[in-house]
Amino acid sequence: MLSEAELPNSLISQSLVTIAQQFVGCGKVQEVHPLGSGNINDTYLVDTEQQPFVLQRINTEVFSQPHQVMDNLCRFVSHARERLSKAPLNRRWEVPTVLKTVDLQHHWIDPQGNVWRGLSFVQGTTTFNTIQNQDHATEIGYGLGCFHSLLSDLPSISLADTLPGFHITPNYLLQYDGVLLQTSAASPEEQYCHTLIANHRHRLSVLEDAKAAGYLPLRSIHGDPKINNILIDTVTGQAASLIDLDTVKPGLVHYDIGDCLRSSCNSLGEETQQWQAVTFDVNLCAAVLEGYLSSASTFLNAVEYEYIYDAIWLITFELGLRFFSDHLAGDIYFKTQRPNHNLERALVQFQLAESVNMQKPAIQKVINQLKAHYCAEPGWVA
């Protein structure tokens, strides 16, 4: 049988229409277009006679238990809906709907074993790969804070761990060490990455150590709240929803805070090829954190504030390490568009982490000021 890459485009879109039809029953699917720029799943927008919807093929190489991914997603959706119906927000906030198949299932398995799901498309919204301005930054932060706050009373134990090891930085270091044993001569850029990892490897367990010591609680988190997963209302400019809910599972809110800040405070974006020009913008960081805490201060405890700086540096560095290890391993995890793509992405994240490192006093000052304003509990020093 031909793989998808070998099929003519007309046949691919024909089979996508057939797959999409599983989620619309008697309504007719008109067209299916690729959507977004995800590195893991395949995502499409489906035009139908009625509402458009989002069709996704779950990457089962990454998510080996797709049923659990869907169970977590459904649990999140019903919990967030209930919260919003009991205590409505005074602004727009959308929780996507999981579409049922014609057989009333929350996913569909095609004859090749691919797992597909349908989700509602949130109308009147857009996303950005790079930050637009300070107001956008505040809304990005608010969106994450709102999401965390809706999940703050969903015990993390009620969600399955659908991606063991995700954001456990010491595990990524072990994987890097394993790949390193099998690699030969390094280019100057690769050598630069190796040196950075050697310089910082002693710092990579900071969040896991704090978790193991009981300082930081496991919560229900998003896992991947990067800038382009936060939908912005096209009229008001306000955050309206978080999408890409595969990694909703137990974790530290710090993974999310770090991921949100590393993706929104780098004005050149994570796909830039000018890695040496990448910097971390502290003013944007202040705006994102202000927006975040305006919603998240209701549940965030004093100790959690103490690890925000560490999270910003660590999750940035961690993504550099993940991209670099994948480059060394032959690009087996993240989708790539060109040779050395994962190396370029790694350099961007490592440069960003260096910029965070150099600006530690300024970033910590922002966090301290926000803590003084938002945190009611007494101080605590880690």
CB of 246 to Mg ion, least distance (A): 6
Residues from 210 through 269 that contact Mg ion (CB under 5 A):
224, 244
CB of 11 to ligand GN1, least distance (A): 25
The nearer residue to ligand GN1, 148 or 167, going by C-beta atoms, is 167
The nearer residue to ligand GN1, 62 or 193, going by C-beta atoms, is 62
**Contact (Cβ atoms closer than 8 angstroms) between residue 242 and residue 147:** yes
Partner whose binding site includes residue 281, from Mg ion, ligand GN1, none (CB under 5 to 8 Å by kind) = none
The nearer residue to Mg ion, 224 or 233, going by C-beta atoms, is 224
The nearer residue to Mg ion, 121 or 307, going by C-beta atoms, is 121
Can you name the residues that pair with 116 across neighbouring β-strands? 57, 108
CB of 261 to ligand GN1, least distance (A): 12
CA distance 189 to 170: 23
Q: Which residue has the tokens 């290890």?
A: 325
Partner whose binding site includes residue 148, from Mg ion, ligand GN1, none (CB under 5 to 8 Å by kind) = none
Partner whose binding site includes residue 94, from ligand GN1, Mg ion, none (CB under 5 to 8 Å by kind) = none
Please work out, in degrees rounded to the nearest 5, the angle formed at the alpha carbon of residue 321 by the alpha carbons of 161 and 126.
70
CB of 111 to Mg ion, least distance (A): 26
Joined together, the tokens standing for residue 246 give 């595969």
CB of 270 to Mg ion, least distance (A): 13
Joined together, the tokens standing for residue 356 give 């965070």
**Contact (Cβ atoms closer than 8 angstroms) between residue 380 and residue 303:** yes
Report the 10 Å Cβ neighbour count for 4: 13
The nearer residue to ligand GN1, 16 or 260, going by C-beta atoms, is 260
CB of 287 to ligand GN1, least distance (A): 21
The nearer residue to ligand GN1, 59 or 101, going by C-beta atoms, is 59
Size of the site for Mg ion (CB under 5 A): 2
CA distance 40 to 334: 6
The nearer residue to Mg ion, 139 or 244, going by C-beta atoms, is 244
Can you name the residues that pair with 241 across neighbouring β-strands? 231
User: CB-based contacts of 84: which residues, under 8 Å, 6+ apart?
Assistant: 93, 95, 150
**Contact (Cβ atoms closer than 8 angstroms) between residue 98 and residue 74:** yes
Partner whose binding site includes residue 179, from Mg ion, ligand GN1, none (CB under 5 to 8 Å by kind) = none
Partner whose binding site includes residue 62, from Mg ion, ligand GN1, none (CB under 5 to 8 Å by kind) = ligand GN1
Of the CA atoms within 13 Å of residue 6, those in its CB half-sphere come to: 3
The nearer residue to Mg ion, 266 or 355, going by C-beta atoms, is 266
Sign of CA dihedral 138, 139, 145, 146: positive
CB of 253 to Mg ion, least distance (A): 17
Judged by the rule CB under 6 A, the positions of this chain that interact with ligand GN1 are: 38-40, 62, 224, 226, 244, 247, 259, 270, 319
Please state whether 339 falls in left (phi above 0), alpha (psi between -120 and 50) or beta: beta
Length of the chain, in residues: 382
Q: Are strands 29-34 and 53-58 parallel, antiparallel or unpaired?
A: unpaired
Partner whose binding site includes residue 261, from Mg ion, ligand GN1, none (CB under 5 to 8 Å by kind) = none
**Contact (Cβ atoms closer than 8 angstroms) between residue 325 and residue 171:** no
CB of 345 to ligand GN1, least distance (A): 8
Type of residue found at 222: H
Partner whose binding site includes residue 354, from ligand GN1, Mg ion, none (CB under 5 to 8 Å by kind) = none
Partner whose binding site includes residue 52, from Mg ion, ligand GN1, none (CB under 5 to 8 Å by kind) = none
User: CB-based contacts of 121: which residues, under 8 Å, 6+ apart?
Assistant: 45, 51, 52, 53, 54
The nearer residue to ligand GN1, 58 or 197, going by C-beta atoms, is 58
Tell me: does residue 42 bind Mg ion (CB under 5 A): no
Partner whose binding site includes residue 39, from Mg ion, ligand GN1, none (CB under 5 to 8 Å by kind) = ligand GN1
Q: Which residues lie near Mg ion (CB under 5 A)?
A: 224, 244
